[in-house]
Structure 1
């Protein structure tokens, strides 16, 4: 029987940081622990994730804007650190777990000062800026990929491969078969650019799908998440091409949409890749070129090399190229099903369990973990 403990989760306010933090919060709570969240104003208001969790907003500046900007950020970080230390004096966390993003930094700095055990979780295939700043001082580093760039070899002894936790509703799709399309049946396409949409997808996808052969185009059924400023134009494009499409800025039932989709066209953010590999869905990925350290291109590498996705750089993402890749995936049902299996083979379905196990183990250790992982990383499932 586990004893009840307190844990602080610290995360930036974007979905990529908040979704895995929320999954861990749910798991730790189910194990009888108490959880508090530290984030920025966006994070504590993130819809549907931390509604029953104690939340705290700490000041955290971004290291940008030259010397004056750095000075302002430093002052904010120190103020946030002091607030975190006050929180720890009353909440008494057994460990502080950081998920990246500048709002996580003051919480981790406060933990170092109060000698509270610390863990960072990296969702991407490139170690993020905040995680790089603190990696040398934390007790453990949980990763989502076997190969993480910008992670120093000297940290190998405290690195644990766990994967990137996803929502339970997405993980449940793993037990549902891939909806192999019938020869003349509907071919469902899901287009999503993450929580904010992606204008490049709205610009290219409707015209790209219009270039498909007529017999294929008539089978299409599209769900397209778009920015609010793009919706009218995108809806008009699909209507002009005669392609049935539902356009929305937000998809509250995204897991169900993912369940029946045959192909997903998306960015290559960490949460997107984790959900595609958890569910086993073929994808065409267009990495965001402005992502820090080009981490989305690196994120896409594993699933692409496995054969579960096709990656198109944004500079090459044209209607003609998209139509070509869709046909390669969609005109052969067996090829599509094989791609789904290969995407699924990259998934790490026990990520939240293994991360929670690591969290529970770390707070009982007086110092840094010697040697390798606290438990062997779960083997990825073999291809059928």
Structure 2
């Protein structure tokens, strides 16, 4: 660990998927005695969970959609954000910039390149995001959450480092806790969430799917489900009709406790969701968001499904009948669910924040190769994964 105090700037889009790992890194760097600043948009500056010690700087960041008429306005906003980032660098004097994806990271990464400031990008998903894709060739290191990352060109393999996706300390603390006891006649506790606002498809399908389970299994259900506010009463009525005990809310402040108690998770396949499931070791039925950019949620499920820790159901196939079938396959016998939980746990990378901090901390000191705590075997596996993903994609095109 580097004992010298340094300054670092983190740049991330204003969603939880980008900011959760940024906050986890901020906590780790602050613990090591460094000073950190955050560049984001207005949503990111106001998002719950931001560390008190982390000042947020809101920069303009243009979006580039399909309408060319909006590109000029977007480019103008990006250049203004770049100028503001350069002024921040002059006063804060950071040793490196870390980008976590999202359009608000773009001006800061461009400014870092202009200022000759070392930069690292972290990719949370199993598909390299648009901003990270755009600047992969200009940054000093690429940190990934998965051994295989689609759309990451093989020519960048030598600067790729597998670190994982950092999760909140409260979730990480559950990793050494045992899987909740699940017996032939004990409760089956199911946790259902769809992101910060819930997912309507889950509210529509899950109650009826659970009702289709064999009576002996259905009688053991205990459900906790996050719903959209406008769906809450309708979902409550459906569970009451099926005589299934269910606790419903639009937001659970104690989500760590709910996750700790759960035997089975049903929900979307966002990067942070999967990172938390694998950190704790909870089996899952995942329903990737079909409109996710580059279908990245479906690709995110690849590692966990291959290991046996999850099952993935595409949304068009996500019916009550299919859900009941998959739950039966996973939960009909206690050992099957316990084995899936262990497989999920094996996919976890609990030292992600430390490894990412090691990588970031190495800038401004000794060369990366001398300090980064990524073993040669791990680095080789990542590079092989990059080349494999590229070869697979080329063969399919």
Which TM-score applies when normalising by structure 2?
Answer: 0.92
RMSD: 1.6
Report the alpha carbon displacement of residue 96 of structure 1 after superposing the two structures with TM: 0.5
Return the offset for 1:213: 1.3
Separation in 1, partners of 2:107, 2:337: 46
2:45 match: 44
Change (3 A) 1:301 1:226: same
Superposed, which structure 2 residues align to 1:136-215 within 5 Å?
A: 136-215=137-216
Cα separation, partners in 2 of 1:378 and 1:213, compared to 1, 3 Å: farther
Q: Is the Cα contact below 8 Å between 2:13 and 2:103 reproduced in 1? A: yes
- The answer to whether structure 1 residue 81 and structure 2 residue 82 are counterparts is yes
Mark the runs of 5 or more structure 1 residues left unpaired by the alignment: 380-384
Give 2:390's aligned residue: none
Q: Give 2:58's aligned residue.
A: 57
Structure 2 distance, partners of 1:282, 1:346, is: 11
Alignment CA distance shift 1:332-1:9 (3 Å): same
Give the superposition deviation at 1:365: 6.0
- Could you report, residue by residue, the CA deviation over 1:8-55 in whole angstroms, capped at 9, with x for unpaired residues? 000001111010000000000000001101101111111122333111
Deviation for aligned residue 1:330: 1.0
In structure 2, distance between residues paired with 1:236 and 1:134: 50
- Shift in alpha-carbon separation, 1:373–1:5, aligned structure 2, 3 A: closer
Aligned residues, how many?
A: 377
Give the Cα separation in 1 of the matches to 2:12 and 2:25.
Answer: 12
Q: Is the 8 A contact 2:163 2:356 kept in 1?
A: yes
Q: TM-score, length-normalised on structure 1?
A: 0.95
Q: CA-to-partner distance for each residue in 1:162-193, whole Å, 9 max, x for gaps?
A: 00000111111111000131222211000011
Kept in 2: contact 1:329–1:336 (CA 8 A)? yes
Alpha-carbon separation, structure 1, partners of 2:182 and 2:315: 28
Deviation at 1:374, TM superposition (A): 5.6
* Matched position secondary structure for 1:142: strand
- Report the 3-state secondary structure (helix = DSSP H, G, I; strand = E; otherwise coil) of the residue aligned with 1:75: helix
Deviations 1:206-238 (A, max 9, x none): 000011111211111111011112111111111
User: CA 1:363/1:252 → structure 2, altered by over 3 Å: closer, same or farther?
Assistant: farther
CA contact (8 A) 2:309 2:341 kept: yes
Distance 1:297 1:373, change over 3 A: farther
**Structure 1's 30 and 373: CA in aligned 2 closer, same or farther, altered over 3 A?**
closer
Q: Alpha carbons of 1:301 and 1:155: their partners in 2 closer, same or farther (altered >3 Å)? A: same
Is the counterpart of residue 276 in structure 1 residue 277 in structure 2? yes
**What is the match of residue 316 of structure 2?**
315
SS in 2 for 1:173: coil
The structural deviation recorded for 1:78 is 0.3
In the TM superposition, residue 249 of structure 1 has moved relative to its aligned partner by 1.2
Q: What is the distance in 1 between the residues matched to 2:224 and 2:183? A: 19
| 2:375 matched residue in structure 1 | 376
Name the CA distance, whole Å, in 2 between partners of 1:378 and 1:229: 50
The more displaced of 45-54 and 340-349 is 45-54
Matching residue of 1:18: 19
SS of 1:229's equivalent in the other structure is helix
Structure 2 residue ranges without an equivalent (≥5) = 379-397
Alignment pair present for 1:330 and 2:331: yes
The residue that corresponds to 2:30 in the other structure is 29
Runs of 4+ in 1 over 6 A off after TM superposition: 370-373
Query: Is the 1:283–1:308 Cα contact (8 Å) retained in structure 2?
Result: yes
